[in-house]
Amino acid sequence: MRKTILKISTALVIGGMSANVAAAGDVEVLHWWTSGGEASALNVLKQDLEGQGIGWNDMPVAGGGGESAMTVLRARVTAGNAPTAVQMLGFDILDWAGEGALADLNAVAEAEGWDAVVPEALQAFAKHDGKWVSAPVNVHSTNWVWANKSVLDANGIAVPTTWEEFEAALATLSAAGVTPIAHGGQAWQEATVFDAIAMSTGGPDFYKSAFVDLDEGALGSDTMVEAFRRMDVIRANVDENFSGRDWNLATAMVINGDAAFQLMGDWAKGEFINAGKVPGEDFLCFRFPGTADQVTFNADQFALFDQGGDVSSEQASLASAILSPSFQSAFNVVKGSAPARTDVSDEAFDACGKKAIADLAAAAHTGNLFGSMAHGHAAPAGIKNAIYDVVTAHFNGEFDAGTAAEELVDAVSIAK
Amino acid sequence: MTMQITDPAVRRSAATKPDFRTRLQSWIPKLVLSPSLALIIVFVYGFIFFSVYLSFTDSRILPSYGWVGFENYDKLFRLRHWDIAVSNLVVFSSLYIIFCTVIGLLLAIFLDQKIRGESILRPIYLYPMALSFIVTGTAWKWFLDPGIGLEHTMHLWGWESFSFDWIKNRDFAIYTVVLAAVWQSSGFVMAMFLAGLRGIDNEMLKAAQMDGASNFQLYRRIIIPQLRPAFLSAFVILSHLAIKSYDLVVALTGGGPGRATEVPATFMYSYTFTRNQMGIGASSAVIMLLTIVAIMVPYLYSELREKK
Amino acid sequence: MAVASSDTAIRTGRITRTFLYLVLLLFALFYLLPFGVMVVNSVKPLSEITGGNMMALPKVWTFEPWREAWATAQIGVEPTGLRPYFWNSIKMVVPAVAISTILGALNGYVLTKWRFKYDTMTFGFMLFACFIPFQIVLIPMARVLGLTGMAGSTPGLVFVHVIFGLGFTTLYFKNYYQVFPTELIRAAQIDGAGFFRIFQRILLPSSGPIIVVSVIWQFTNIWNDFLFGASFADLDSQPMTVALNNLVNSSHGVKQYNVHFAGAILAALPTLLVYIVAGRYFVRGLMAGSVKG
């Protein structure tokens, strides 16, 4: 379908750039969900909109967990040709809102009562200056451990609940000749592991002061050194071929029984389900030892870009379709995440999904819900990546735990 | 098309009688050149200037114009990340240039010996240059992966002790980038040397041979020195490919393991576009540009002066 | 025991020649291997790849991966395969190569045959365009394209590729025309031929080899470009490399290696074709052009 572009001479979006608007009746969506499962989940949304007579212009840009898509977005916005909606994470949304590039969704939000149903911690990333600027799709929680049940049973291992038990389990597995941990050596995956370990080592207050408040004392503390030391333990329990491996290939190792555990966000569940595995019978999902009460989350959202003036009716329809309970349920059952609103029935979800929804509600209630550092929900992109640098350099043996903590202080101070 | 070197000195076209037609004629060449020149002034030099300016600002997610002086440069040089990128570039570019030149020259000399099947071998050597980085990266990444690639195959064939895990090894990963890059461009260098060899005057060689010079001496004393222009062209093309090498690193290792294969081009991209620190990204771009200038200007100067 | 030949002074013995052939064949193997393995694996079912030996020939031959990559693979939410993007690429590459080659030829002609004050400096100045890292032009270029209404369109992409190809095409043609006998031109001038007439009648007919070099160079670079294509293209102008990236780098899900390989080869076919068809003129063109003078 050919997209007509009509130029609007008013609407100075950023620094006097003019905006082009998609012809009425179309939305253009920039995203990086290109694989089978995700794309079909997104198709639900597409069909929903097409049912309302709104065309869907697809702009997929895969690669690097959205890195390529963000570069494209920058070029598009600079050209005054911003897409209608863009898949986005955490601080990126706030940064773009800070540039004044996002639309004001308050009218839709008020009409549909988003404030009441979206958890507070999530609202922090969907609202800027009291205005809703994006529509949250889901809440992923990242501090999960995925385990192959038969491997654990064969080695007489119960679900570990503390770091010590976990370490003992790793030792048992290692002695039995099983690869204890399936890991993919990419910076974000190492940071995902580190996220959970830091939470487990220092608890929620430490996590907050280190990764959210970026307190130098916490970043360079002995607790941090201990967290890095525990990363060494993880490193010693992965196979030799981990570097550069995609996360889903690591998941496949657990599925096939080549490894016992994977520390990964809840999107890993989709791989188990696709392989015909049943939660609780073939595989187990549990919170990383020592973080039973906490949930570190990241949420995919669709940020709506200002198309010059008011929110267009297509944007409003898109936003409201995204937050509709039926889509939230349908999408998240496929994706493995929890719905972004708390009032969605968990009926359609499997055991792990039900647990995720319950954990999320409990954590939100007790103040144990934290944005994940590894997934850009604790600190802005520059700092997140600075932490990545240190974590991945340490994990790959560039320096020891003590030096890593010093480097962390340094890297964060430069990136601030 | 004659291949002799003619006297390149051409006098100005202005004719003796400056009537209107000849005056117009003398303007046409400049008119023809000017659109290209204008485009380059605006889109190359203008944008370079813009980057230099950005490197002194507090730009983050989009360009902004708050002046911060040398702060970005100060931060840049404090980043260990940048040190790694620069030292990787030194290792990468020197090995890359040396290997491409040596292999290219060797293949060109060998191919120049009246080889049967040259017309089949030549495209085989050249074709990697036709592939995009995604293709090269996909092929090599897979080929080098110990779990499914070469190492795995050797194990299946019964050579159990065979080990080739460079791509997963922090200390060796940069060499796999060199390997894939040499694979991609050495054929092109071969073509340049081959072209140079084919242009050498045979009479001189025959004369030297009469004097009893061996093949080795012929190459060392007479032929290779005559390939100087080809060496220079190869050096320039290779060094700019090395400094700009971004695609291959991203496709092959993504800068890893850890950040072991980070190079300035990936550094700049990541700071500008994924870390929302456009100011630091711009300052690294300026350093890269200065490096290119430092290599190119002496070369251009010597080349262009000679041709006068 | 020497293989004498009419036009080379170098003689080689039998042992040397065996050695030469051995080395040349080894290198041929080195160049063929990674891509060859990819081709072989693109016609295997996925189970044979993940479970087996990459060097082994397929037990079951299947062209399904090729068909899937071309026509039905999921690129985003639409299962379109690479097909529509292939045509987008063609629509972009052909004009961009043509325009930059023509401009390069004219520039080379002016710079060598109609010399003016500071012409060498002007050339050096233009040559620097070859060496600018593309990442730094992304943002300002996006702004320019937006202001001129060319953002997200094929003409916009053509414009960008022409600009950043000019340096190289000018370099090639300049070096080539440099050694072209100026006497011919002067003679034509005396006969009253004008600027364009001389170009058309005298230079152009003998520019074959260098046109080939320029076209090969530009075609490969533009066809293979990802950064500009991803940043400046829109729904209906996204080139093949962007689609291939979406196919190969799918963030989540099962990696279908065979489809990825088939897609990668499909994306490389046009450039490979250009190299194979025009390759034999390539060395000839280089010989006359860029490495001489």
In single-letter form, the type of residue at position A53 comes to G
C159 against C250, higher pLDDT = C159
- Among the residue ranges A16-30, A320-334, B32-46, C4-18, the one predicted with the least confidence is A16-30
Tell me the β-bridge partners of A132.
A127
From the list B253, B261, B259, the residue with the least C-alpha distance to A407 is B259
Residue A30 has pLDDT above 80, yes or no: yes
Q: What are phi and psi of A370, to 5 degrees?
A: -125, 145
SS3 C120: helix
One of 1.10.3720.10, 1.25.40.10, 1.10.540.10, 1.10.530.10 is the CATH number of C88-252+270-288, namely: 1.10.3720.10
Mean pLDDT within C223-243? 86
Each residue of C15-63: pLDDT tens digit? Answer: 888 888 999 999 999 999 888 888 888 898 887 877 667 777 888 888 8
Where do the CATH 1.10.3720.10 domains begin and end in chain C? 88-252+270-288
Mean pLDDT of A2-24: 35
What is the reported pLDDT for C9?
56
Q: Does A213 touch chain C (CB under 8 A)?
A: no
Each domain of chain B, given as residue ranges in start order, spans 80-307
Average confidence (pLDDT) over A4-8: 32
Stretch(es) of chain A classified as CATH 3.40.190.10: 5-139+299-355, 141-297+362-415
Question: Does A340 reach chain B within 8 Å, measured CB to CB?
Answer: no
A141-297+362-415: what fold?
D-Maltodextrin-Binding Protein; domain 2 (3.40.190)
Look at A79 and C146 and tell me if their CB atoms are within 8 Å. Answer: yes
Mutate to test the interface with B, among C30, C41, C82, C136 (most CBs of B within 10 A): C136
Average pLDDT of every residue of chain A: 86
Nearest-by-CA chain B residue for C40:
B139
| DSSP state letter for B52 | H
| Residues of chain A above pLDDT 70, percent | 93
Chain A hits for C246, CB-CB cut-off 8 Å, are: 34, 60-63
Can you say whether residue A53 is alpha, beta or left, with left for phi > 0 and alpha for psi between -120 and 50 degrees? left
Cβ contacts of B258 on chain A, cutoff 8 Å: 187, 392-393, 395-398
Question: Under CATH, which number does the domain B80-307 receive?
Answer: 1.10.3720.10
Bond before B298 cis per omega within 30 degrees: no
pLDDT at C253: 54
* Six-digit token string for A405: 């903590």
pLDDT digit string, tens, across residues A206-265 = 999 999 999 999 999 999 999 999 999 999 999 988 887 888 888 889 998 999 999 999
Which residue in chain C has the smallest CA separation from B306? C293
The top-level CATH class assigned to A5-139+299-355 is alpha beta
pLDDT score recorded for residue C35:
86
Task: Share the mean pLDDT of chain C.
Answer: 83
With a cut of 70, say whether residue A35 has pLDDT above it: no
CA distance B166 to chain A (A): 11
Residue B53 exposure: Cα atoms within 13 Å on the Cβ side: 11
Q: Along the 308 residues of chain B, how does pLDDT read in single tens digits?
A: 333 333 334 444 444 455 777 777 778 888 888 899 999 999 999 999 999 999 999 888 888 888 898 999 999 998 888 999 999 999 999 999 999 999 999 999 998 888 888 888 888 998 898 888 778 887 888 888 877 778 888 888 888 888 787 887 788 889 999 999 999 999 989 988 988 888 777 777 788 878 877 778 888 888 888 888 788 878 878 887 888 788 788 888 877 777 788 899 889 888 888 888 889 999 999 998 888 888 878 877 777 665 54
Query: Does the beta-carbon distance from C77 to A39 stay under 8 Å?
Result: yes
The string of DSSP letters for B76-135 reads: HHH-HHHHHHHHHHHHHHHHHHHHHHHHHHHHHHHHTTT-TTHHHHHHHHHGGGGS-HHH
Q: By the 8 A CB rule, do C262 and B171 touch? A: no
Helix axes C119-127, C83-113, angle to 10 degrees: 160
Give the range with max mean pLDDT: A59-63, B103-107, C78-82.
B103-107
pLDDT at C286 over 80: no
Cβ–Cβ under 8 Å, residues A83 and A59: yes
DSSP string across C133-177: -GGGGHHHHHHHHHHTT-TTSHHHHHHHHHHHHHHHHHHHHHHHH
